[in-house]
Amino acid sequence: MKYSGWPEPSELVVGKVDEIEDFGVFVDLEEYEGKRGLCHISEVASGWIKNVRDHVNTGQTVVAKVLDVDEDAQQIDLSIKDVNDHQRKEKIQEWKNEQKADNWMELAFGEDIADEAYSAIANALLSEFGSLYDGFEAAAIHGESALEDTDLDEDEVDAIVETARSNVSVPYVNVTGYVDLTCPDSEGVDVIKDALKAAEGNGEVPDEIQLEVTYVGSPEYRIQVQAPDYKTAEGALEESAARARKVVEAEGGTAEFHRDRDEDDE
């Protein structure tokens, strides 16, 4: 996917060196349709430059900072030297992610999708998430609910979610906690069983969360949570323990949540 329009001053762009002259370097912008920029020799590298070709090669992919845009003159001034290593790596990764997302769009809607239809779907994702990649990643994690505020129709949402869940590698974090459950009631065993079912969510845990409760050693149970980020994981962990506590305490029992396993059980 290439954007129409023009980049903004100070924006970082990915380009391919198209032509090298003594006075500077012409760069085709990979992210903008039909746009080409000029990086003056003084902006190619720091210090005095004797030969531009000592610093860049034709066909080389570079990350540059947009210094100025003159739409009337059809001119974009660039600087390669103003981009540090961290910015370069981050921008290249962002660009590669968008290329992946472009492929996912073709998988979801076919290679023959009309340009207007493609643009409408892409703009809906860009408006909500800022990038196609972030839109697909959100769909992989949260499913249809991630796209409910977009202008996409039901079929488009289904296609994106199905493609995302088959192709997007979602980063996950894992957290673990423990809960001690006791109940002196004559039906205490059944109460504990109900508490464990409650801890596991009774089938109502969101799709992006994997939660498992296992027996460690009476009265201790392990709660393991896998989620897209630590905030979500920690919240799910605490909610799981709270559900178990509610069931047990309603029957006169006790529940104690702790993050580390009891030393006596090691």
CB 108 within 8 A of CB 160: yes
Taking the chain (266 residues) in runs of 10, the rounded mean pLDDT of each run is 86 96 95 94 92 94 96 95 95 94 95 91 94 92 89 95 90 90 86 93 84 90 90 92 93 90 59
**Would you state the pLDDT for residue 266?**
45
Cα 169 from Cα 69, distance rounded (Å): 37
d(CA 81, CA 92): 16
Residue 256 backbone phi and psi in degrees, to 5: -125, 120
Residue 84 burial class via C-beta count within 10 angstroms: exposed 0-12, middle 13-18, buried 19 and up = exposed
Cα-only R_g, the chain:
27
Which helix H or strand E contains 157, and what residues bound it? helix 154-167
Sheet of 173-182: strands edge to edge?
A: 210-217, 220-227, 173-182, 254-258
pTM for the structure as a whole: 0.65
